[in-house]
Structure 1
Amino acid sequence: MKKLPLHIKIIIGLVLGIIWAFVSSHFGWNQFTIDWIDPFGKIFIRILKAIAVPLVLLSIISGVSSLNDISNLGRLGAKTIGFYLTTTVVAVGLGLILVNLVKPGDFVDEDQRVKNRIKYELWVKDNPDVPRPKDGRSFLEEQKYANLVSEAMGEGEIDSLQQATESSDERVQELSQSADQTADQGPLQFFVDMVPENIFAAFGTNSGMLQVIFFALFFGITLALLPNEKVKGVTDFVNGANEVILKMVDLTMKAAPFFVFALLAGVISKMADTPAEVFQIFKGLGSYSLTLLFGLLFLIFLYPLVVSALVKKLSFKSFLRRISPAQFLAFSTSSSAATLPVTMECVEDNVGVPKKISSFVLPIGATVNMDGTSMYQAIAVVFLAQLHMVDLSLGQQLTIVLTATLASIGSAAVPSAGLVMMIIVLNSVGLNPAWVAIIFPVDRILDMFRTVVNVTGDATVATLVASSEGPLENSETHD
């Protein structure tokens, strides 16, 4: 067992966690799992998040201060942002193509979809600020739907999901308020939020990572501009402290298989009391879940193909193997930030990306690059429109591309970022923001796959940026 590679051990822990969750739910041990196993998963995420902030701070300062020419930082930044924007637009575009080809919303019973459309038109009628549907149809005025109009006024939107969403009203209201606050902000608010009022306060907030990155860049640039003899002590301390943090990551990862087991067991145990209930949740949203899963898996395998095509020394299989520990950890934690320490370790030690590049590119990616989340928003919004028989025009779908791309960049500063940003995207095309409650039941498990895409995209961009700057370090020794 000791000789097995880390990613194999993590896979074993992951599979055992899923098996345990179903066994415990079958025998009624869910509460035991939640009380005595799930806390170890929470401890793991807390450790990784605690390591992530000082790792980002020290790595960026170390990398930037080591640059011989500060003008290189501007070129590096332009490449990084350019690659991240490109991958985000590609993710959203592929999501829209897939959801329009498969049409997962059309798999739901047509009578139910007609009722959903009628309820949507009633909502539009009650909200005069919302633009009328652009497909030119009005089910409220068509005589053949008269009976369904009266029925729709008293029924839930999807019978099979009604029970799952009954308790979501308060959650939707909270997300809507957060979305309204975000949408009302000025165009430059994103840049205002990047600058910390108190760097120590930024360490302890969910939205503080961008502020930590800003401070680290500012500190590192200033350090590089000063004569080495004046700041040698500071540089030595930063480099030494960075090595300590990296060793903490290494020690934590030795226990990762057990922690991953605890995480997966806890996640599934909280979803439902019996295995049948878990499957029932997915049955109601099966077409949507499978469409999104296919799109996310396509991206997971597309990125290594791009790397193997552009970086000759890295094959498809080799790149996937080298970043697999970060991918499996991303699946378990559903957090790009928590996975960041391991992503950096994989990219530097396994792929051969220089530390000065990975320490700059990856923290930014973990904060602003959300390819999986962007694809999820595109597919979910169009699915919800199809579910309500609302035909989105080409212009509205292009609006989704633009809004989802900008939202993915700004989502780092917003708690519950994915769902909050989806409300903004729904509002941008005149759809009911309360519809996010429909996809709540499967959001947690799909979030795990979205995070894998996000982390894979980060590793891909770091590799491409490093390759554009020169040959990768030790890239042949791991093949």
Structure 2
Amino acid sequence: MKVGNRMTMYIVIGLIAGIVVGSLFNTMSDQTWVQWIDQYIFNVVGQLFLSMIFMMVVPVVFVSIVLGVFNVGDPKTLGSLGIKTIAFYLVTTAIAITIAIVVALVFQPGEGQSELLDGDEVSEYRETELEGDTGDAIEQTVDQTIIDLIPSNVFQAMATDNMLQIIAFAIFIGVAMIAVKEKIGGVVQLFEQANEIIMWIVLAIMKYFAAIGAFGLVATAFTQAGFGAIQQLGMYFICVLLALLIHFVLIYGSVVQFLARKPFLWFVKNFMPAMTVAFSTSSSSAVLPISLETAQNKLNIRKSVSSFVQPLGATVNMDGTAIMQGVATVFIAQLSGIDLTIGQMVTVVLVATLASIGTAGVPGVGLVMLAMVLTAVGLDPAAIGIIIGIDRLLDMTRTAVNITGDAAIALVLNEQMTRKEERQAGIKQ
């Protein structure tokens, strides 16, 4: 069972129908019957689909990473792959947030709108969000972030969906399997068979529920927010979308075209199934099973590379989210009447890039990361409340960008590995 063109078409139809129906219902959102349909039909359908996908995320990540590490076969090759992967992710994230800052400085979305800081959204966000787990995440130190990479309790890490800790444990298992591979033929076969079962379940969910699930998720998002929410923050919305488009076409296009030596249109066309699911779910982790299947079967990325690079990227590589942070930071600074210095802009780039790894396991990671960035440059994180109304709509787009970056880097590393093997084979001959 594979993700085919027909399934992609059905998902796209579901997305379009959700946007149309949700936008129509948004004009009548004060009606009781509309609220009932949104809560008990759109939301239930969407959340059931999301829950089915999330149900499979931990098994997919754990089994994929173990097999990916084992299939690399050589600890030295694995170390090289890991270093290259992290380096690519950090560089593209830094470029993404730099593009965002430049776009926001050019178009100045916050000029003349300082009254937004006096709205109820700011005080409500301060009272409801900047406490508890979110507040703790903002204050978390670098040393504690490093310590938290290794799980003290593997089962707790899996129960709380702490992806960084799950990945760390899976890498240990994979390396150990390489070391004793002559003695564990049955264990390897067990993981391979488990992978087949898990992917069958995932693709069955996609085949029978993806289109209606996408419809429900997008319909409820547009019913609650709608295009009306964009009007007041129109320039901010446009700046984020513009920066996402520039990064998608210019950076990913160049990476695929010049480093992987593949046509970018070919890449986009073949990766479209995963991008459509990412748009509807707004979660890099939720779309990971489809992203892996699409990359391996449509982009011809070997499993040993895809299974290592993409799960890691879904956890730590957030170019789309970084773009939102860059635009939002400049936007909030302009609302506050503050001109960011060069030093502060550099701080934004550095903090956002490092935070993309440090807060990967925190729910609502995008806004938590933004709060960390704002705090680092002396801006009030409560101002995030201003953009929350349209963040759900932007989250769909930036998630699609996030997972596309993961696949682009996986493609580059796969092609580099292939060319290296061809050179070595030529030397031997």
TM-score using structure 1 length:
0.82
Q: Which residue of 1 aligns with 2:388?
A: 440
CA contact (8 A) 2:137 2:359 kept: no
Aligned pairs for 1:304-453 within 5 A: 304-312=253-261, 314-453=262-401
Change (3 A) 1:181 1:34: closer
Gap change, CA 1:41 and 1:432, over 3 Å in 2: same
> Deviation per CA, 1:359-404, whole angstroms, max 9, x where unpaired?
1101110000011111111110111111121111111111111111
What is the number of equivalent residue pairs in this alignment?
A: 413
* 1:203 and 2:145 matched: no
**Aligned pairs (5 A) from 1:15-414:** 15-26=16-27, 28=31, 29-106=34-111, 108=112, 113=114, 157=117, 162=119, 167-174=124-131, 178=133, 180-206=135-161, 208-228=162-182, 230-255=183-208, 256-271=210-225, 278-302=226-250, 303-312=252-261, 314-414=262-362
Cα distance in 1, alignment partners of residues 122 and 227 from structure 2: 16
CA gap 1:305/1:6 in 2 versus in 1, 3 angstroms: farther
Residue type at the aligned position of 2:147: V
In the other structure, the counterpart of 2:426 is none
Q: Give the letter aligned to residue 256 of structure 2.
A: V
Structure 1 stretches of 5 or more lacking a match? 117-155, 272-277, 474-479
The code of the aligned residue for 2:9 comes to I
Q: Cα distance 1:178–1:72, how it changes in 2: closer, same or farther (>3 A)? A: same
- Aligned mates of 1:423, 1:372 — CA distance in 2: 16
The Cα shift of 1:95 comes to 0.8
Q: Alpha carbons of 1:70 and 1:279: their partners in 2 closer, same or farther (altered >3 Å)?
A: closer
Offset at residue 24 of structure 1 (A) = 3.3
Residue type at the aligned position of 1:373? T
Give 3-state SS (helix, strand or coil) of 2:99's partner.
helix
Aligned alpha-carbon RMSD (Å): 2.1
Identity %: 38
Q: How big is the shift at 1:441?
A: 1.2
CA distance in structure 2 between the aligned counterparts of 1:25 and 1:186, rounded to whole angstroms: 42
1:213-261 per-residue CA deviation (whole Å, 9 max, x = no partner) reads: 1111100110110142x21111110000001111112211113112111
1:343: how far off? 0.5
Using the TM superposition, name which of 247-256 and 80-89 deviates more. 247-256
- Tell me, in whole angstroms, the C-alpha distance in 2 between the residues paired with 1:84 and 1:320: 19
Whole-angstrom CA distance in 2 between matches of 1:220 and 1:185: 30
Q: In the TM superposition, what is the alpha-carbon distance from 1:282 to its structure 2 partner?
A: 1.4
> What displacement does 1:164 show?
5.2
Residues 305 and 451 of structure 1: CA distance in aligned 2, closer, same or farther (over 3 Å)? same
Unmatched tracts of structure 2, length 5 or more: 422-429
CA distance in 1, matches of 2:144, 2:197: 36
Task: Give the conservation status (yes or no) of the 8 Å contact 1:52–1:337.
Answer: yes
The secondary structure found in structure 1 opposite 2:285 is helix
Question: Structure 1, residues 9-29: CA drift from partner, whole Å, max 9, x if none?
Answer: 211110011112233344642
Stretch moving more, 24-33 or 278-287? 24-33
- Cα gap change, 1:300 to 1:413, in 2 (>3 Å): same
Partner SS state of residue 197, structure 1: coil
| Aligned partners of 1:183 and 1:424 also within 8 Å | yes
Give me the TM-score of the superposition, normalised by structure 2: 0.91
Q: How far apart, CA to CA, are the structure 2 residues paired with 1:284 and 1:189?
A: 40
TM-aligned CA deviation for residue 85 of structure 1: 0.7
Q: Which amino acid aligns with 1:218?
A: F
